[in-house]
Amino acid sequence: MSVPELEEVYPILKKGKMDALELLRKNSPKEYERTQKAIMTDAKSQIHENLIKHQSVLRECVQRYCGYGDVDKDNANAVALKSKIMQKYKWLVVYHNYMCGLNKFENCFVYVRYTYDPITLNDYMEVIDSTNA
């Protein structure tokens, strides 16, 4: 007695065939819909959890790294490096908030206040409470 090939037992595995969800959609539309809802609910839950974690880390990093208190302002290289770091965090805040908006998770937003000192040409960024936004 010969052992059947895996593709013979599970024809869906053959190259060029439908994937499992497509086969389920074709053979059992109700089960397909239930499965899709379960997948989406779990995915949304995971996205929300990740955005909450990221929000916490991002708020802490903005408060820690987005000011010039720890920089020797006479050192042009240190000021330039700090400015580059802050630009990265500005981008990250914008992207984080974009992902929160895209997924309709308003409780995950990171609210910041941007200020600019025209004398030193330095940007500043600080986290603010969402109720003051």
Q: What is the arithmetic mean of pLDDT over 38-65?
A: 90
CB 102 within 8 A of CB 43: no
Angle at CA of residue 101, ends 37 and 106, nearest 5°: 90
What's the pTM value of the predicted model, to 2 decimals?
Answer: 0.67
How is the chain split into domains, by residue range?
Answer: 16-132
CB 116 within 8 A of CB 124: yes
User: Per residue in 3-15, pLDDT tens?
Assistant: 555 556 556 555 5
Q: Is 80 exceeded by the pLDDT of residue 1?
A: no
